[in-house]
């Protein structure tokens, strides 16, 4: 499933009229940036997965490309893994109300620690030097969800580049909270995926207006490389 990498034209026109530019953060600095990759697990990515996002298989290459480029620049690569105790006991409100009754227990079981669906999709290029962070809510940054904010602050990273799935759920939730915690946020439109192209683009349309810059993998890597080579303050 091909998903759009462009924000809708009417949103671009609105932003150009209001801000005069589509970008907020003009100089991505590799020494201040981290790559955060969300939920590229079997439950979401594998064919027939319990919570399958078919388009997520199309972004495996771009995600791995981004991760490799970041490692070469000393940019931390952080893989986010959704996990719940057996029975989804730490978020029964979600499983009891937002999951179809006949799928509730199976969905909770799929994201338990020892379940194969909760493991990362085998094609993801995860290296020993990368970080893995466990989350138990859509957003990685809502209090109590994960240790991501502490990891970012401890490494002096105030800019996060987001990839993964779903664009309009976990990626968008994390982007919103990150911006409100004063992080600079970039969402990779060609390394994120939703259930449909319409939902993917709708999320990009919202994010660019109030929460993040929307860019593609090649452009972000080119900019990070250029700024890594540039003199300090240049």
pLDDT single digits (tens) 27-74: 999 999 999 999 999 999 999 988 899 999 999 999 999 999 999 999
Note whether residue 178 is domain-resident.
yes
Spell out a b/e string for 25-59, using b for 16 or more CB atoms within 10 Å of the CB, else e: eeebbbebbbbbbbbbbbbbbbeebbbbbebbbeb
Note whether residue 124 is domain-resident.
yes
* Number of structural domains the chain divides into: 1
Of 62, 17, 71, nearest to 40 by C-alpha is 62
pLDDT at 94: 65
Q: Give the CATH number, domain containing residue 27.
A: 3.40.50.850
pTM of the model: 0.93
Alpha carbon distance 164, 86 (integer Å): 24
The answer to whether 150 touches 181, Cβ cutoff 8 Å, is no
The answer to whether 212 touches 176, Cβ cutoff 8 Å, is no
Q: Which is higher by pLDDT, 93 or 210?
A: 210
pLDDT at 229: 79
Q: Summarize pLDDT for 170-183 with one digit per residue, the tens.
A: 999 999 999 999 99
pLDDT at 207: 98
Average pLDDT of 174-202?
Answer: 98
Note whether residue 1 is domain-resident.
no
pLDDT at 234: 39
Average pLDDT of 124-152?
Answer: 95
Residue 88 has pLDDT above 60, yes or no: no
Share of the chain above pLDDT 90, in %: 77
Note whether residue 104 is domain-resident.
yes
Q: Compute the mean pLDDT over every residue in the chain, rounded to the nearest whole number.
A: 91
Note whether residue 202 is domain-resident.
yes
Note whether residue 232 is domain-resident.
no
Note whether residue 4 is domain-resident.
no
pLDDT at 118: 83
Q: Which domain holds residue 204?
A: 9-227
Residue 168 has pLDDT above 90, yes or no: yes
Of 52, 40, 42, 39, nearest to 114 by C-alpha is 42
The answer to whether 104 touches 95, Cβ cutoff 8 Å, is yes
Note whether residue 233 is domain-resident.
no
pLDDT at 7: 96
């Amino acid at each position: 499933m091909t998903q759009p990498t462009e924000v809708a034209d009417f949103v671009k026109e609105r932003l150009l009229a209001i801000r005069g530019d589509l970008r907020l953060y003009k100089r991505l600095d590799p020494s201040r940036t981290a790559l955060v990759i969300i939920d590229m697990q079997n439950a979401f990515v594998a064919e027939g997965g319990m919570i399958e996002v078919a388009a997520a298989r199309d972004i495996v290459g771009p995600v791995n490309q981004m991760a490799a480029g970041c490692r070469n620049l000393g940019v931390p690569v952080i893989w986010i893994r959704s996990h719940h105790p057996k029975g989804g006991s730490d978020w029964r409100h979600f499983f009891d109300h937002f999951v179809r009754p006949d799928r509730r227990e199976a969905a909770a079981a799929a994201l338990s620690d020892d379940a194969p669906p909760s493991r990362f999709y085998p094609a993801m290029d995860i290296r020993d030097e990368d970080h893995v962070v466990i989350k138990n809510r859509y957003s990685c940054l809502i209090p109590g969800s994960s240790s991501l904010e502490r990891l970012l602050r401890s490494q002096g990273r105030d800019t996060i580049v987001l990839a993964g799935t779903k664009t309009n759920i976990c990626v968008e939730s994390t982007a919103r909270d990150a911006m409100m915690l004063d992080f600079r946020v970039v969402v990779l439109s060609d390394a994120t995926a939703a259930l449909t192209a319409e939902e993917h683009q709708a999320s990009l349309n919202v994010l660019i207006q109030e929460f993040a810059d929307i860019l593609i993998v090649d452009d972000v890597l080119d900019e990070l490389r250029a700024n890594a080579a540039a003199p300090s303050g240049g």
